[in-house]
Chain A
């Protein structure tokens, strides 16, 4: 059951959580990393993944008296995948906080905060705290991976606070992820092992649900290494051949092609860590390769198995209706790929004969599943048809839904607690006139009672079917003849009664003026 408020105390989380740190040199930072989490009283699992012997001894000595810190020896460098797999196998409890050893947790009461997040988002697989890259003086961004028709893949800033990928060295991961998808692929020695896991989730029909954590901060610092062992660790971590191998494995295994133009970035990382800019210069001679996404792109989004009824009111001769249904069809395909069952019901509010013929053709073409009349009398607006069997109901007014609109709306409605018992509107509406002039309206908290009286301001929204059941009992439904007006008045009524109206980030509707 999504959005179920499950009880989780801080004590319970403390018992269920293990902090996992891979120790491959960088002793001082590793010690700082472990100390940064120990105040919370959590268990820390440090795996010596091929560190220098002296550094390993020093680390053991540092935490010898602390029973919460467990230090194991991997017997050499088993790579990121191999090391983390060992930690997964060697720990218990539902949650694993993987921290790279050059990261510290800077938020004082992070465990209490994390308990709140876990409780609020019980369906999330991974939580990603906010991370400040000290060496770049910038915040890392929560990222979605996107693929195009040819299998090219890119990462971009996530459209919302939910994402489909996570940074493996700075995330809190639910153990069920590894139980369902398996452990990290050890063919990937270093780099993209977390991404490969995310792809596995997507290919298995269940993209990961990753939630950004807004109030826990990590600090990631590429400190200049003084010790030779640390410098060597940097060259191993950012080794072009190893990263290239990871790319190749992912391409071979999943047909996904990552951007091969990464040598400059690797060299910069090595320079930051070692102060040596000559490393990897040979690889830099490799010519840049074309890697732009082209054609239709696809962002895997987790919405869970569910069903949604899409209501499409239609008037007159159905101007633009065919194109609107085509846009909706794209959104529907995305939703179906994400596991949603989608049923499109066109509402004949005042269609003329031409319009009705058009809807019938749309049904033949598979763009619509049903035509329902809402104009057969005084109570016509009540004739929206049955909501039985659907978990969500979506209203689409004027405009063209973007391809991810439906999935983003449902994801927000399903997993954001604030939206669970209310209305989820599109986060943005693009109004464009015939000459290309227009505006982009951002509505993070839409209020039907505010702004101009234009139904196009509420071009699409989703609410759970249980909320929609209230429409039939609403006052608005009893006095307004046109179904569109009745629905809008109902929105106002609900807003006045403090029922939540939120905008779903990442969803957008295009409305020709």
Chain B
């Protein structure tokens, strides 16, 4: 490489380094040090790089062999954007100007500031603030820019030129109902906007279901890309990413960082993109309080949302009733199940006695204690329990031990999706949760043709009623569950008719097609399809696939 080219490269690297140094450190130094350093750098520039960075277009032309003095600038173009570019081309080298400014900038005591303060005193004295010496106040350098870390820079560099259609903020991708729903959203959108959908997992933990993310979706492990030094810094990085990605729709689903982003910067975020959030039900709460993203965030961020997607209608009505939100804010999108049995082809449920299936994540609100009570009261029935809980609390362990000690309960361990269960062995699905929206396992149980006994909590009653299953009302009463179980096991004919009705209801509301149709009908949820077409065409010969390099982040 020729020496001038090497010099030019070195100069570029030094300028980049200097700009970072100036942005991060120089302003914090004492004026004397700042000036001394800047002067030294100016000296280096003058001596070692006299012909570099000498002012925009003229210098470029001079370097390309054209005499600067004979250069005639172009006429003013008519388009505003061209005007800006031409003006920038004629600007002196900004690094040099900045260096000069730093090198010659005087101290903080500025006469104009003192004069302005004096001129305002006749007014400020009415507030008893006229005596404040503005010069004595600490000077804070303003909110100039959000800086990207190198990792974030890498992500930004990989963004598609025509911007992202959707960004999902998810906590993780683990086995679970909400995660399964998130994958369904990604499936639909990836097919429609290949290469323009990004899923960001915000929590620092493993995401075993990451392998299920469809092609065409960029997955970013935020904790790896941008370790949270503090929440605000993490949010600034997210904000920068949203700005740079020109994303059209942001979807927050169960991500703490996502909700914090809306709480702290909702106005900004909504100025950049359309914003949707998913809410399913109030979180498990102590008796005298209410927890969860809905009560803790929604009232303060509802103005910054284009819509809230729920997986049941009941919760939307409840929120409107509890907080006075406008109903138009909410859109019910029932989560889909991949497979709905065809009862004409499927075998009937096994003849009794058969074991009863209980499957869910282990958590206090899933009421394993209730299951234990039921099992104790019905020793003649056998219960197979599937599930696990990484965060089994101290209160949960005794219950699990109690279940283990019961002879009619078999703890079967964790399961990886409802479809992985040996469903043909079971003739009834029992669900005992005390807090839920529209539990995925209940939908799946119905979809697989199992009669269901479930509590009347959250939006379950939209799915389970006297026609489609056994809905247990009352305040988590064991007797009510026992009555429902006895009814389900005692009347084979009713059981058969209800499970058929249940399957029909699932087919009516929870298929992929219905989900897709409903989701795409949500006002504002679609992105600009024109962009998607161009991306699809340019990605790989028209095939709707995202580059593999984007998937490794």
Contacts and interface: CB of A to CB of B under 8 A. Distances in A.
Interface size class of A (residues with CB under 8 A): 35 or more
B144 A443 contact: yes
Contacts, number: 215
B344 interface: no
Given A214-B101, A297-B119, A327-B120, A10 B112 contact: no
B141 interface: yes
A475 B86 CA distance: 29
B131 interface: yes
B144 A439 contact: no
Interface stretch (B66-74, B276-284, B459-467, B480-488): B66-74
B120 A447 contact: no
A496 B68 contact: no
Interface string A181-214: 0000000000000000000000000000000001
B112 A144 contact: yes
A458 B350 CA distance: 70
B376 to A, nearest CB: 54
Contact of B143 (A447, A480, A510): A447
Nearest to B98: A214
A215 interface: yes
B140 interface: yes
Interface string A109-129: 101110011011000000000
A81 B126 CA distance: 49
Interface residues of B, number: 72
A405 B126 CA distance: 20
Interface stretch (A95-103, A281-289, A486-494): A486-494
Nearest to B305: A479
Contacts of A112: 55, 58, 68-69
A251 interface: no
Interface string A1-40: 0001111111100100000000000000000000000000
Interface string B447-482: 000000000000000000000000000000000000
B58 to A, nearest CB: 6
A438 B138 CA distance: 7
Given A159-B112, A445-B142, A446-B143, A453 B267 contact: yes
Interface stretch (A168-176, A264-272, A347-355, A396-404): A396-404
A276 interface: no
Interface stretch (B76-84, B183-191, B404-412, B512-520): B76-84
Interface of A: 4-11, 14, 41, 108-109, 111-113, 116-117, 119-120, 130, 139, 141, 144, 146, 154, 156-159, 214-215, 293, 296-297, 299, 320, 323, 326-327, 330, 400, 402-404, 417-418, 421, 428, 430, 432, 434, 436, 438-453, 457, 475-476, 479-481, 485, 488-493, 495-496, 503, 506, 508, 510, 512
Given A5-B83, A428-B113, 9 more contacts: A146-B115, A215-B55, A215-B92, A299-B115, A434-B129, A440-B134, A440-B137, A449-B239, A496-B246
In the complex, the 7 A-B pairs of residues with the closest C-beta atoms, listed nearest first: A443-B142, A451-B143, A156-B111, A492-B271, A159-B112, A489-B271, A402-B116
Interface of B: 50, 54-56, 58, 68-73, 75-76, 80, 83-84, 86-87, 90-93, 96-97, 100-101, 104, 106, 110-113, 115-120, 123-124, 126-129, 131-132, 134, 137-146, 236, 239-240, 243, 246, 264-268, 270-272, 303, 306
